[in-house]
Amino acid sequence: MVFQAINEKKQQLDAKSPLPAYTLKSLKEKLLLEWIYHSNAIEGNTLTLKETKVVLEGIAVGGKTIREHLEVINHREAIKYVEEIVTKDEPLSEWQIKNIHRLVSKGIDEEYAGVYRNQQVFISGAEHTPPEPFSLKEKMKQLTAWHEGEAQQLHPVERAAKLHAIFVGIHPFIDGNGRTSRLLLNLDLMKSGFPPIVIKAENRLAYYSALDKAHTTNDFQDFIQLVEQEVNHTLDLYLSAVN
């Protein structure tokens, strides 16, 4: 795949680095809020964007469940952890993936937080059936080995998209795989110097369809294109702020 527009925009952005401190801070805050809101909304969290902002400020929203509040707070903690991994420039490991999942699940599902599932699961509305529990350790080992090996030859956007898609196809945890996969997607993009992207809740149908196509036919093109669009969108946002 050719990612020419993305490469050119990233070069333009890199040339303007470091960005003005306040501009960078406000861009990061905007993306953090949207990332948390949309990633949770995809999974059925009913907090609005404004309500999500209020919860992040430490205020409870009436009529919403404790779980919905925790999903917001946990997501912020998981993003902080992802940012730490990026600054340390550590290779991807199962330990990191389990830690991300543990943070996402904290106080919601303590028994299975950061623990590979021991039961068969099915993804509602999808043709693809995730692998049986006994094969998970091997599949996750293969995923991290692929990521640190041959995947390093891929364009960063293609690699990040495939990491997300393969991980969510394995579905190693009972719950929280979607949020964890989008955290992994952004972890990989940020390691390569890209800003994080937001997969929007309103694109949920196209997102799920592209993932199911990747899992059932091994054709990742639709999903890679979907990620590519969002990378372009975020780069445009950053460039519009500094031009």
The residues annotated as belonging to the active site are 171
d(Cα 87, Cα 36) in Å, to the nearest integer?
Answer: 21
CA–CA dist 29, 32 (Å, integer): 5
Give CA–CA dist 75/107, Å, rounded. Answer: 12
C-alpha 225/C-alpha 217 separation (Å) is 16
- The tokens describing 93, both together, are 């490991």
**Residue 127: strand, helix, or coil:** coil
- Cα separation, 12 vs 6, whole angstroms: 10
User: What one-letter code names the amino acid at 51?
Assistant: E
Q: Which two tokens stand for residue 216?
A: 């059932």
- Closest by CA to 107, choosing from 64, 63, 71, 77, is 71
Q: How far is Cα 7 from Cα 190, in angstroms, rounded to an integer?
A: 15
Q: Which residue is it, tokens 């972890």?
A: 187
- Residues 211 and 42: their CA atoms lie apart, in Å, by 14
Burial annotation 61-93 (CB, 10 A radius, 16+ → b, else e) = beebeeebbbbbbbbbebbebbbebbeeeeebe
